[in-house]
Amino acid sequence: MKPFLFLIIPLFVFADGYSSKRIDVAPVNNALYIQECGACHFAYQPGLLPENAWNTMMNELDNHFGVDASLLHEDFQTISAYLQQNSAEKNMQYKRSRKIVQSLPKNSIAKSISTTPYMIRKHDEIRPSLITQPEVKGLFNCKACHTTAQKGIYSERDINIPNFGRWED
């Protein structure tokens, strides 16, 4: 009984109605994408980058941020189509997708989500040592701070930075 209670209590703490219901980007809904593109890191929502950025990234998977993330031909086609159909421009009804697209200079191709002007601006008040600390490693690690990242919710109320805590603006 005791170990069971021990597991339950922290769940209640997180479910205390603190969480925001507003979805910032459309959640991922493709099992193959989660399996293949969520193997090494968080399965980033397609609505976090425009189509041209996804296409460029997919065409360079053999040298993906210094690692080989190549896919079988069939999986490559399925995932490329999924990213194209759900890219930020196709999701402009979601505030964050819209803001990311609008922040990019015309004809530019973003190299990553965390280096888009909107993301840089949104995170520029965080002490750099909190981003580079071992529990986070870098801005790419969305779910280290955004407890609801998997649901596509990036609300300030759902942030919990390791060794810092909740974000009060």
- Cα 40 from Cα 35, distance rounded (Å): 10
Please report how close the Cβ of residue 35 comes to ligand HEC at its closest, in angstroms.
10
Is 48 a binding residue for ligand HEC by CB under 6 A? The answer is yes
Nearer to ligand HEC, 6 or 168 (CB): 168
- Cα 22 from Cα 9, distance rounded (Å): 25
Q: Which residue of 23, 142, 152, 158 would you call a contact of ligand HEC, by CB under 6 A?
A: 142
How much is the CA Rg of the chain, to the nearest whole Å?
Answer: 17
**Which residues, other chains included, contact 30 with Cβ-Cβ below 8 Å and sequence gap of 6+?**
79, 82
Nearer to ligand HEC, 101 or 161 (CB): 161
Is 37 a binding residue for ligand HEC by CB under 6 A? The answer is yes
The sign of the dihedral angle between the CA atoms of 151, 152, 154, 155 is negative
Cα three-residue angle 10-12-18, rounded to 5 degrees: 110
- Per-residue contact string for residues 82-101; x = within reach of ligand HEC by CB under 6 A: --------------x-----
Asked if 166 contacts 126 with a C-beta cutoff of 8 angstroms, the reply is: no
Q: In this chain, which stretch among 11-19, 35-43, 84-92, 101-109 interacts with ligand HEC, using CB under 6 A?
A: 35-43
The contact set with ligand HEC (CB under 6 A) reads 24, 36-37, 39-41, 44, 48, 61, 64-65, 67, 69, 79, 96, 112-114, 122-123, 125-126, 130-131, 136, 139-142, 144-146, 154-156, 159, 161, 167, 169
